[in-house]
Amino acid sequence: MAKDFLLEIGLEEMPAKYAPGVIDQLENNAAKMLKDLRLEYQSLKAYVTPRRIALYIKELAESQQDIKEEVKGPAQKAAYDAEGKPTKAALGFAKGQGVAVEDLFIQEFNGIPYVYAQKFLKGELAEKLLPDFCQAMLTSLNFPKPMRWGEHEIRFIRPIRWLVALYGDQVVPFAYAGLNSGRTSRGHRTLGGYVRLVRPEEYFAALEAAYVLVDQERRKAEIWNQIRKLAVQAGGLVEEDEDLLTEITHLVEYPTALLGDLDIKYLALPEEVITTPMKEHQKYFPVRGQDGKLLPYFITVRNGDSTALEVVREGNKKVLKARLEDAAFYFREDLKKPLAEFVSELDKVVYHDKLGTVGQRVERLRQLAGYIADRMGLDQKTMELVDRTAYLAKADLVTHMVYDFPELQGIMGGYYAKYSGEDAAVCTGIVEHYRPRFSGDEFPATTVGETVSLADKIDAIVGSFGIGIQPSGSQDPYALRRQALGVVGILLKDSRNLALTDLIEKSYEIFAEQGIALEPLAEILPALEDFFNQRVRYLLLESGLRYDTVDAVLALGEPKPYQIGQKAQVLADLRTKDEFEAYINAYTRCVNLSKKTENAKWNAEDLVDDSEKVLANALAEKSQEVTEACQRLAFSEAYAIASELIPLIERLFDSVMIMVEDEKLRIARLGLLRDCVKTLGFLGDLTLLA
């Protein structure tokens, strides 16, 4: 009979941010190993709390599946002599497979008869396989910053303190990190004690009795339920924050939410000054009224029961009060002078030892933002707002508030600009130029914000690539991928159709004017273009477009994201129409034949058949019309024009043979097809369409 299996790794408190990755690893690795072991099961799930990593498998089979396997041996003519007697080849094959020579049989493979042996492999008992399986599970886990402890050579996320391994009512014996597996777990660090398990089925109830909710999904639901109830008691509500809720879930084993209050005087501070210490530093949920405004309450989650909850509440209030007092002091100090007076201090702040100071960077942003504004065709007033925004964009980096709360950079700049009497567009632009800050964040909504945001991100990316800093694998310490997504996301929806290559080259030129030495542009430009194209591809796929549609358009090497996006959308629509089949067939035939010659010049006067002369005349006219339509970004119109060539191309293929012996005529016909490819392929390389 199948039995449940439990593996629990008890350890010192694990950082919450690593928990989701551990869950994925454990489940994926276990599923793969069990498949390789041929052990069937009903389901498996990983569980993580701060002090344990657990794998629970329901109805794990008692033994591996038996397998029958056919093994191919030598050809029949080599296995048997003329009299039908087995040769040394057959005898050796039979012996090697552990079967009698009489049990060999003949079967054809690719029309040739071979001898085969049928092997039967009896499945091993699970109890013999599970010790090695447990060892393999522990060693298969990878962590960003593993630790060593004691005299052990192994590394793990945190020191391991106990091991539980049960299959049915039997302990699965194995040793790791100087510990032997057993059936004794541990409950909550202060409220629980040792928990002896007889069978895996007891695990969840026994741990809950020892103040541990093992199932992270249940913990999460319980936390959110408690938080919402407390918010209602306070006469308000709590906004969903999935990241904060997930983090808290992995910080506690037995959650108890509590409501705290703060002095109403702090509500006079900018909202972000209050919520940032709450959420980022203290892991509190702010409480809002029905109108969305902050109420003087917070909700936090304790790792334990309700014992002495008032003491815990007062402790949390004191900590938050201290943070808010600091924030209030910084805010008052920063407001003693206009935001513009902080700019000169940026000359003392190093941006990067190879890229100069933040002050130098501000000057680069002003130049690049001005260039972008000019290419966008912005009016003089808006260009002045762009320049002022770029000038003030980094000023809050040297304020007291941002020094202590770096998460507020840009946000505080917007507030301080407002209090300094700056134009509303400048205040908004300062905030927006950092967007998007994270996956799913909003993009800049104003022209000023978009322009400075583009300059900020392109300067960072070009500078980083220019000094040899590029993302690799999962490593991206300067968040260049996110910044590139920001650039591409803005340009994909900006109908002013800016070319990325132009912006890159201008940014590089500004670095050179400042005397900052970067690697030669010719060496880094291909990497930069590929880097941005990968982000273009990602965002277009996220929008729902098919991969081959996107790849076909990208194959043109178009440097303008907006144009790429428009072409991809038109191509996606065309693919749904029946008449497009004739278009793509004609295009593909032209591509396949024109590959058979180099780009040799051809002369229309060398054409002899009416079908090719008519096509050549039409192509000369239509290609110009297609080009003009593309310049207006009227790609559907361009397709309609190019489609008029399809009957003429089909007539050509029906009337003449392309690969004739006459070299001049052959080159002319192939050149004609090559020009057809250029005109028909204005949307992309259509041969890449599946």
Domain end position, chosen among 120, 135, 156: 120
Domain end position, chosen among 267, 288, 321: 321
Domain end position, chosen among 178, 209, 240: 209
Kindly indicate the confidence band of residue 663, based on its pLDDT and cuts at 50, 70 and 90: confident
- Please tell me whether residues 348 and 437 are part of one structural domain: yes
Count how many domains the chain has.
Answer: 5
Residues of the chain with pLDDT > 90, as a percent, come to: 85
- Please tell me whether residues 359 and 316 are part of one structural domain: no
Q: How far apart are CA 115 and CA 58, in angstroms?
A: 42
User: Residue 352, SS3?
Assistant: strand
For residue 457, being part of any structural domain is answered with yes
- Please count the residues of the chain: 690
SS3 sequence of 148-206: CCCCCCCCECCCEEEEEEEECCEECCCEECCEECECEEECCCCCCCEEECCCHHHHHHH
Q: What is the DSSP letter of 339?
A: G
> CB of 418 within 8 A of CB of 270?
no
Q: How far apart are CA 258 and CA 247, in angstroms?
A: 17
Amino acid letter, 114: Y
- Res. 120: pLDDT tops 80: no
> CB of 305 within 8 A of CB of 363?
no
For residue 330, being part of any structural domain is answered with no
- Please tell me whether residues 433 and 484 are part of one structural domain: yes
- pLDDT tens string 199-239: 999 999 999 999 999 999 999 999 999 999 999 999 999 99
Of 544, 545, 431, 538, residue with least CA distance to 489? 538
- pLDDT tens string 345-370: 999 999 999 999 999 999 999 999 99
Q: How far apart are CA 216 and CA 578, in angstroms?
A: 51
β-sheet with 67-75: strand ranges across: 67-75, 112-121, 105-109
- Please tell me whether residues 578 and 684 are part of one structural domain: yes
User: Residue 557, SS3?
Assistant: coil
- pLDDT tens string 519-529: 999 999 999 99
CATH number reported for the structural domain that contains residue 441 in this entry: 1.10.3210
Query: How many beta carbons lie within 10 A of that of residue 146, not counting itself?
Result: 12
For residue 550, being part of any structural domain is answered with no
Q: How far apart are CA 366 and CA 217, in angstroms?
A: 49
Of 414, 507, 385, 509, residue with least CA distance to 458? 507
- Please tell me whether residues 27 and 149 are part of one structural domain: yes
- Res. 599: pLDDT tops 90: no
For the chain, the C-alpha Rg in angstroms (whole number) is 35
Cis peptide before 436 (omega within 30 of 0): yes
- pLDDT tens string 407-462: 999 999 999 999 999 999 999 999 999 999 987 889 999 999 999 999 999 999 99
Question: With the CA atoms of 546, 552, 556 and 558 taken in that order, what torsion angle do they form, in degrees rounded to the nearest 10?
Answer: -10
Instruction: Dig out the tokens for 221 from the structure.
Output: 């639901």
Give me the pLDDT at residue 109, please: 87
- Please tell me whether residues 316 and 378 are part of one structural domain: no
For residue 557, being part of any structural domain is answered with no
Q: How far apart are CA 683 and CA 552, in angstroms?
A: 8
Instruction: Dig out the tokens for 246 from the structure.
Output: 């997930």
CA 474 vs CA 141, 144, 304, 660: distances in Å: 17, 10, 36, 55
User: Residue 457, SS3?
Assistant: helix
Kindly indicate the confidence band of residue 84, based on its pLDDT and cuts at 50, 70 and 90: confident
Amino acid letter, 100: A
Give me the pLDDT at residue 269, please: 95
Of 550, 431, 441, 539, residue with least CA distance to 485? 539
Of 68, 72, 88, 70, residue with least CA distance to 80? 88
**Which residues fall within 8 angstroms of residue 608, CB to CB, at 6 or more apart?**
665
105 lies in which domain range?
Answer: 74-120
Query: What average pLDDT does range 325-354 have in this prediction?
Result: 96
> CB of 38 within 8 A of CB of 64?
yes
Q: How far apart are CA 673 and CA 690, in angstroms?
A: 22
Give me the pLDDT at residue 69, please: 78
Kindly indicate the confidence band of residue 249, based on its pLDDT and cuts at 50, 70 and 90: very high
Give me the pLDDT at residue 291, please: 94
Kindly indicate the confidence band of residue 144, based on its pLDDT and cuts at 50, 70 and 90: confident
CA 536 vs CA 156, 444, 485, 541, 684: distances in Å: 38, 18, 8, 9, 15
Q: How far apart are CA 481 and CA 474, in angstroms?
A: 11
Amino acid letter, 494: D
Amino acid letter, 499: A
For residue 221, being part of any structural domain is answered with yes
- Please tell me whether residues 594 and 453 are part of one structural domain: no
Q: How far apart are CA 190 and CA 404, in angstroms?
A: 34
Give me the pLDDT at residue 439, please: 79
- Please tell me whether residues 32 and 169 are part of one structural domain: yes
Kindly indicate the confidence band of residue 587, based on its pLDDT and cuts at 50, 70 and 90: very high
CATH number reported for the structural domain that contains residue 660 in this entry: 1.10.730
- Res. 600: pLDDT tops 90: no
Give me the pLDDT at residue 103, please: 82
Query: What average pLDDT does range 306-320 have in this prediction?
Result: 95
For residue 181, being part of any structural domain is answered with yes
**Which of the two residues, 82 and 379, has the higher pLDDT score?**
379
- Please tell me whether residues 405 and 524 are part of one structural domain: yes
Q: How far apart are CA 164 and CA 187, in angstroms?
A: 13
Amino acid letter, 91: L
Of 116, 121, 85, 117, residue with least CA distance to 99? 117
- Res. 34: pLDDT tops 70: yes
Kindly indicate the confidence band of residue 598, based on its pLDDT and cuts at 50, 70 and 90: low
| This model's pTM is above 0.85 | no
- Please tell me whether residues 13 and 140 are part of one structural domain: yes
User: Residue 285, SS3?
Assistant: strand
For residue 90, being part of any structural domain is answered with yes
Give me the pLDDT at residue 146, please: 92
Q: How far apart are CA 358 and CA 482, in angstroms?
A: 21
- Res. 255: pLDDT tops 70: yes
- Please tell me whether residues 484 and 409 are part of one structural domain: yes
For residue 129, being part of any structural domain is answered with yes
- Res. 603: pLDDT tops 90: no
Residues of the chain with pLDDT > 70, as a percent, come to: 100
Work out the mean pLDDT of the chain and round it to a whole number.
94
- Please tell me whether residues 502 and 365 are part of one structural domain: yes
